[in-house]
């Protein structure tokens, strides 16, 4: 097995919301760990406010961490300065949520996809690179003269993908890559990402609340709740038989394309608790249909069942005997 290209160990991110007179911190990411190997797609899943984007920004060096370690291609990067991170970002790129809004309205498509070369001081044959990058994402060369407002959402997302792969990175972090797109266009973008991963040998971290996206592209996944990983494992295994109640509820709410297949949706009561008032014990107990008294008072253990890991007092499947 190849060594991980990205390693996250016990990472914690805190935000200071206090003042000189009343210090106050909230925990945005609470001690998570993951590994991503070359050519693999890893998905971070969860409701809004679960900490997915905060973790992605920490991996990319855009958000400081308070504890833990992040290593990329065997080198620890969480302690690097912005200047020291500059060459790392040639190997690790990020796609942001809004397909059109993330593109400067004053720049042409040709300028947008070649801007990474200018940022990193690389001399290129601009025309050749524009044609290469647009071809890779399925856009004709004459799109180079267009501006973002002249693009559809799907075309703008393809431009964003071209920009992300311009410097031949080893890892692409994609934040909600299908947000704001029609369902048919979402499928095209996901197929494009899968194709590029195979052709270029990319590793990807996909951040999304859309489980269709996860099922379509991810090899492995982590489900986040209030900044913690509540379940991790191979995507197919997690979808087939989740072991954490939160994961089961999310999957049950995912529309089932087969009308003949039984579909029992689990309704979660109440809203996601505020990070300012984390529940005691298992933080999911206030919404969990299977919660018992101990869940409200004691942090749950980490259990591993058939390659899936969850933090739960009463996992939905029990560990099988060896």
User: Strand runs (DSSP E) across 100-152, as ranges?
Assistant: none
What predicted TM-score, i.e. pTM, was given to this entire model? 0.91
Sign of CA dihedral 84, 28, 206, 95: negative
For the chain, the domains span 6-240
The pLDDT of residue 179 is: 87
- In angstroms, rounded to a whole number, what is the distance separating the alpha carbons of residues 148 and 169? 24
The pLDDT of residue 177 is: 92
- In angstroms, rounded to a whole number, what is the distance separating the alpha carbons of residues 79 and 110? 35
Q: What is the DSSP letter of 233?
A: E
Pairing assessment for the beta strands 75-76 and 41-45 based on DSSP bridges:
unpaired
The pLDDT of residue 321 is: 36
The pLDDT of residue 320 is: 45
Q: Which residue has the tokens 């709740």?
A: 225
The pLDDT of residue 322 is: 32
Dihedral angle, C-alpha 305, 311, 317, 321, nearest 10 °: 40
In this structure, how many other beta carbons lie within 10 angstroms of the beta carbon of residue 285?
Answer: 21
| CATH 3.40.50.300 applies to domain 6-240 | yes
- In angstroms, rounded to a whole number, what is the distance separating the alpha carbons of residues 63 and 196? 27
User: Strand runs (DSSP E) across the chain, as ranges?
Assistant: 6-16, 25-36, 41-45, 67-72, 75-76, 92-95, 171-175, 203-208, 220-225, 228-234, 302-305, 308-311
pLDDT in tens, the chain (322 residues): 789 999 999 999 999 876 555 557 899 999 999 999 999 999 999 988 899 999 999 999 999 999 999 999 999 999 999 889 989 989 999 998 877 888 899 999 999 999 999 999 899 999 999 999 999 999 999 999 999 999 999 999 999 999 999 999 999 999 999 988 888 899 999 999 999 999 999 999 999 988 988 998 999 999 999 999 999 999 999 999 999 999 999 998 876 555 555 557 787 877 889 888 899 999 999 999 899 999 999 999 999 999 999 999 999 976 543 3
């Amino acid at each position: 097995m190849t060594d991980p290209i990205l390693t996250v160990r016990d990472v914690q991110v805190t935000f200071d919301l206090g003042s000189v007179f009343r210090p106050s911190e909230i925990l945005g990411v609470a001690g998570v760990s993951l590994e991503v190997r070359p050519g693999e797609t890893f998905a971070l899943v969860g409701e809004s406010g679960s900490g997915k984007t905060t973790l992605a920004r920490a991996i990319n060096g855009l958000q400081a961490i308070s504890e833990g370690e992040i290593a990329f291609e065997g080198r620890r990067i969480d302690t690097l300065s912005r200047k020291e991170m500059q060459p790392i970002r040639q190997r690790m790129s990020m796609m942001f949520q809004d397909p059109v809004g993330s593109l400067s309205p004053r720049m042409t498509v040709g300028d947008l996809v070649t801007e990474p070369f200018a940022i990193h001081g690389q001399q290129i044959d601009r025309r050749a690179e524009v044609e290469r990058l647009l071809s890779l994402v399925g856009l004709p060369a004459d799109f180079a003269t267009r501006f973002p407002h002249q693009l559809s959402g799907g075309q703008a997302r393809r431009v964003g993908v071209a920009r992300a792969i311009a410097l031949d990175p080893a890892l692409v972090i994609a934040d909600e890559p299908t947000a704001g797109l029609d369902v048919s266009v979402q499928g095209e973008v996901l197929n494009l990402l899968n194709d590029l991963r195979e052709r270029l040998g990319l590793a990807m971290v996909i951040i999304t609340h859309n489980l269709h996206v996860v099922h379509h592209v991810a090899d492995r996944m982590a489900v986040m709740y209030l900044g913690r990983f509540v379940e991790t494992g191979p995507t197919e295994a997690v979808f087939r038989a989740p072991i954490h109640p939160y994961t089961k509820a999310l999957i049950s709410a995912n529309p089932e394309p087969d009308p003949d297949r039984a579909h029992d949706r689990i309704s979660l009561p109440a809203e996601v608790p505020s990070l300012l008032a984390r529940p005691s014990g298992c933080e999911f107990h206030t919404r969990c249909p299977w919660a018992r008294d101990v869940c409200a008072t004691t942090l749950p253990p980490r259990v591993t069942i058939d390659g899936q890991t969850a933090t739960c007092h009463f996992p939905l499947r029990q560990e099988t005997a060896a």
